[in-house]
Amino acid sequence: MNVPKVRVTETALRDAHQSLMATRMRIEDMLPVAEMMDEIGYHSLEVWGGATFDSCMRFLDEDPWERLRGLRKMFKKTKLQMLLRGQNIVGYRHYADDTVREFVKRAVGNGLDIIRIFDALNDLRNMEVAADQVKKEGAHLQLSISYTLSPVHTLTAFADLSVKMKEMGADSICIKDMAGLLSPVDASKLVKAIKKNTGLPVQVHSHYTSGMASMAYLASIEAGADVVDCAISPFSMGTSQPPTESLVAALAGGPYDTGMKLEKLVPVANHFKQIREKYKDIFVSLTAVDVNVLIYQIPGGMYSNLESQLKEQNAMNRLDEVLQEVPRVRKEMGYPPLVTPTSQLVGTQATLNVLVGERWKIIPKEVRSYLMGYYGKPPAEVDPEIRKKAIGDEMPITCRPGEKIEPEMEEAKKAVEAWALQPEDALSYALFPAVAKDFLMKKYAQKTKRDIGLETLVDGTGYPV
């Protein structure tokens, strides 16, 4: 049997539903199709990380650790992977080194084979602790380049970054194109440069927002990419990934044949058609190309967030002004790639600049922290006037931001010891204290009620009486 020259990572169980339906897919929607997916021959399945951890507890009353264990039990042949935000882990701020290490240890222990790590600023210092722990746990370390366009984000800069990632122990490199900005021409050049400079496997991840992703994938494959991220057709395109079936069909019979069979993908697609219908009320409406991402480099999720902020202020008529302000703010902040959490920082500041009527008159605490260096080193120099307006004569930190955070895990373990029933509960609490406490108390109260059979153990809210 010939070994496929190109492999596919399926994103339907993580990024696709995060991109299209606000990360609301439940484990009950995944398990019935798991056996079929396990037989297809995917390179891997992205099943965890990103916003799924938070959403499980906050919105779905699911334990993210139980989800991972449940999926690991069902997928016996296919590797499972997650997306990790470096020092942010799966949250929206930096966490202490001990929390990062404990999370990676537990994530691999609960069933992950591949961990894809990225940092919003491509600051490798924010990735090094997580990367080191992945290697210690014996999992596959995939380090990611957050792809974006700016005067400082050049082919040479990205190629040099990939070399440093190899020196950090990367087993593979991912080009993470979160906004769908990667053109076929640039994709070909970048894949070739990374392969030449590192010799490592290259995986390409893109979103269909601009309409270029499938073309970028083909160009990447012809340039030597080893794996591409796709989503089964009912959960593809729009702000999600290119469709799995289309890529498999396009490459069938040629030198880049994936080895996957359409007849095996059809029943999987049929299952996800039903899931899409189940959640039709929360599915995003964007199914065509969003030209805004090409003009303003704004990812789909950031665009919808800007709309939401303006609707709350009854100022939707000022959307065009905000869209034009975003690139200006981004330049002044040193051209950060627009991905969580920097997309929120730039978008919020641009909105304030427009609505207040005076640029940089109001500066959120998080933006000040960014300008102080607590998110990492900006890709380019920050506008000195903006920095002075935000932080005065204070000097930004120059060390690795994680070094400024005191250890957290012992305190988290003490906080949950009275009611935690698994070691992972302390991690859930360390990451999202308020959300995890509410979720876990309700979860364990319900379990006690169910196991002992005493209705009086909990009141109507699910909390102990």
pLDDT at 300: 65
| pLDDT score of 360 more than 50 | yes
pLDDT at 459: 33
| pLDDT score of 448 more than 60 | no
Minimum mean pLDDT range among 213-227, 258-272, 382-396, 432-446: 432-446
More confident residue, 440 or 465: 440
Say yes or no: 445 and 311 in one domain.
no
- Around Cβ 268, how many Cβ atoms within 10 Å? 22
| pLDDT score of 454 more than 70 | no
| pLDDT score of 455 more than 70 | no
The percent of residues above 70 in pLDDT, for the chain, comes to 94
Residues sharing a CB contact under 8 Å with residue 235, sequence separation 6 or more, in sequence order: 11, 12, 16, 17, 20, 272, 275, 276
Candidate ranges 91-95, 128-132, 451-455; pick with highest mean pLDDT: 128-132
In a domain, 353, yes or no: yes
In a domain, 223, yes or no: yes
Specify the CATH number for the domain of residue 310: 1.10.472.90
Q: Please give the C-alpha separations between residue 174 and each of 81, 86, 259, 401, 454, in angstroms, as whole numbers.
A: 13, 14, 22, 24, 51
Say yes or no: 244 and 383 in one domain.
no
Q: Please give the C-alpha separations between residue 254 and each of 171, 249, 451, in angstroms, as whole numbers.
A: 27, 10, 57
Say yes or no: 85 and 137 in one domain.
yes
pLDDT at 1: 47
In a domain, 403, yes or no: no
Over the chain, what is the mean pLDDT? 92
The last residue of a domain, from among 398, 417, 451: 398
pLDDT at 305: 75
Say yes or no: 99 and 23 in one domain.
yes
Say yes or no: 201 and 64 in one domain.
yes
Indicate the pLDDT class of residue 465, thresholds 50, 70 and 90. very low
Specify the CATH number for the domain of residue 172: 3.20.20.70
Domain count, the chain: 3
Residues sharing a CB contact under 8 Å with residue 338, sequence separation 6 or more, in sequence order: 148, 178, 179, 297, 298, 299, 302, 326, 330, 346, 347
Say yes or no: 215 and 237 in one domain.
yes
In a domain, 287, yes or no: no
Indicate the pLDDT class of residue 447, thresholds 50, 70 and 90. low
More confident residue, 454 or 393: 393
Say yes or no: 91 and 52 in one domain.
yes
Say yes or no: 188 and 271 in one domain.
yes
Q: What is the tens place of the pLDDT at every residue in 378-435?
A: 999 999 999 999 999 999 999 999 999 999 999 999 999 988 889 999 999 999 999 9
Rg (alpha carbons) of the chain, rounded to whole number: 22
Say yes or no: 178 and 235 in one domain.
yes
Say yes or no: 162 and 16 in one domain.
yes
CA atoms of 407 and 84, how far apart (whole Å)? 19
Minimum mean pLDDT range among 82-86, 182-186, 435-439: 435-439
In a domain, 291, yes or no: no
Q: Is 22 helix (H, G, I), strand (E, B) or coil?
A: coil
CA atoms of 128 and 108, how far apart (whole Å)? 17
In a domain, 288, yes or no: no
Say yes or no: 367 and 418 in one domain.
no
In a domain, 289, yes or no: no
In total, the chain counts a number of residues equal to 465
Q: Please give the C-alpha separations between residue 373 and each of 186, 217, 366, 377, 386, in angstroms, as whole numbers.
A: 30, 35, 11, 6, 14
The last residue of a domain, from among 257, 282, 307: 282
CA atoms of 345 and 355, how far apart (whole Å)? 16
Domain span including residue 374: 298-398
Indicate the pLDDT class of residue 2, thresholds 50, 70 and 90. low
The percent of residues above 90 in pLDDT, for the chain, comes to 81
pLDDT at 286: 62
The last residue of a domain, from among 349, 365, 398: 398
pLDDT at 289: 83
pLDDT at 458: 34
In a domain, 404, yes or no: no
- Name the H helices within 110-154: 128-137
pLDDT at 381: 96
- pLDDT mean over 201-221: 96
- pLDDT mean over 313-322: 91
pLDDT at 453: 42
| pLDDT score of 463 more than 70 | no
Say yes or no: 120 and 53 in one domain.
yes
